[in-house]
Structure 1
């Protein structure tokens, strides 16, 4: 079992006045989600005292079970904001595997934005409000099909998460952190 409890704490992003965030948990076919929400949506945040920090505290809670670690769960983020005409546009995508060790973790997830193929498409996209965007945000959690996608880095998300693991040793997996002592052969 894998139990996660945490939050998308904030996004650091310069050059925009407002953002909101979505998350989706993506996992392999051998995994089953037994509790929690697979998706979440935050409120719109405007930057505060320090320019570029958008606070969300969007809760993430889930319990998974599996007998095979293939397809380990990932947290996929999508950030959106308003353009100069007040239309919602994508501001960034990012993905991170949930930690494989028990305990409290703080993760920094780099965000990226798909780019137009040509300068003409860029201007048409700005005027029409239809900028490049993934139809399915979980594509960022997969490797196939992304090798030809042009992206630009923009900002990062800070995630605080607590992880609990149960019964990994029953399936032959040793899961110890670097700071915890190795279990003895008799245990």
Structure 2
């Protein structure tokens, strides 16, 4: 007799494709995952660091990392759905590695191929004097714990400004979610002919999803 599963699996592969940071050069990306207490990584890497990349000197001056992502999670419930946290670093005029951007995005819920544009930001000094002092001493404002960008606590007292963006590709496979009562299939819509079809933003191989990548609605339930 078949037994009812007690956990479901979320398998994600993909890549940190590239980024748009027109003001800088020689950048690299660090990544890690933030997830709830009921989630466990069963295979793959929880964190990593890419190669240093120079921007394209022709055309749009885009950074191309094509850094692979491959991880499998298991969980008993969707609370604390995993987020990918991205941190971009580069050297300043003094040769010191400084943060060029922070960002986070939830791993897509629905199976298939997804593209996400992740807006990046950096913390700002609380005063002009501190900003000048940080520039003069080569110590720019940075997060001690980069996972703070994936949480809501304390974010309202942090001054930040937008700086660049990163494009990520995700290939999602889930297992046993429906057996546990969770429906993660893409929504369908009815055509004039009465045939159901996937929305263009959810179809495999489609372009960037219409869902904002900077969603901070909290954990999925």
Q: TM-score range by the shorter chain?
A: over 0.9
Determine which structure has more spread, i.e. the larger CA radius of gyration.
Answer: 2
In the other structure, the counterpart of 2:14 is 6
CA distance in 2 between counterparts of 1:85 and 1:179 reads 54
- What is the DSSP-based 3-state SS (H/G/I as helix, E as strand, rest coil) of the residue aligned with 1:139? helix
- What is the DSSP-based 3-state SS (H/G/I as helix, E as strand, rest coil) of the residue aligned with 2:157? coil
CA distance in 1 between counterparts of 2:137 and 2:68 reads 34
**How big is the shift at 1:58?**
1.0
**Whose strand fraction is larger, Structure 1's or Structure 2's?**
1
CA distance in 2 between counterparts of 1:150 and 1:103 reads 36
CA distance in 2 between counterparts of 1:110 and 1:52 reads 17
Q: Deviations over 1:102-149 (max 9, x none)?
A: 000010000000000001111111111111100111110000111100
**How big is the shift at 1:83?**
1.0
List gaps (5 residues or longer) in structure 2: 1-8, 190-195, 198-221
In the other structure, the counterpart of 2:41 is 33
In the other structure, the counterpart of 2:161 is 152
Aligned length: 182
Question: 1:18-57 residue pairs with structure 2 within 5 A?
Answer: 18-48=26-56, 49-57=58-66
Deviates more, 1:119-128 or 1:109-118: 119-128
- What is the DSSP-based 3-state SS (H/G/I as helix, E as strand, rest coil) of the residue aligned with 1:34? strand
Alpha carbons of 1:86 and 1:51: their partners in 2 closer, same or farther (altered >3 Å)?
farther
2:77 equivalent to 1:77: no
List gaps (5 residues or longer) in structure 1: 183-187
2:161 equivalent to 1:137: no
Provide TM-score, normalisation by structure 1.
0.94
Task: Decide whether the 8 Å contact of 1:16 with 1:52 is kept in 2.
Answer: no
CA distance in 1 between counterparts of 2:59 and 2:21 reads 11
2:69 equivalent to 1:60: yes
In the other structure, the counterpart of 1:110 is 119
CA distance in 2 between counterparts of 1:26 and 1:61 reads 15
Provide TM-score, normalisation by structure 2.
0.80
RMSD of the alignment, in Å? 1.4
Q: Deviations over 1:12-66 (max 9, x none)?
A: 1111122110000111101010000000100111111234411111111100000
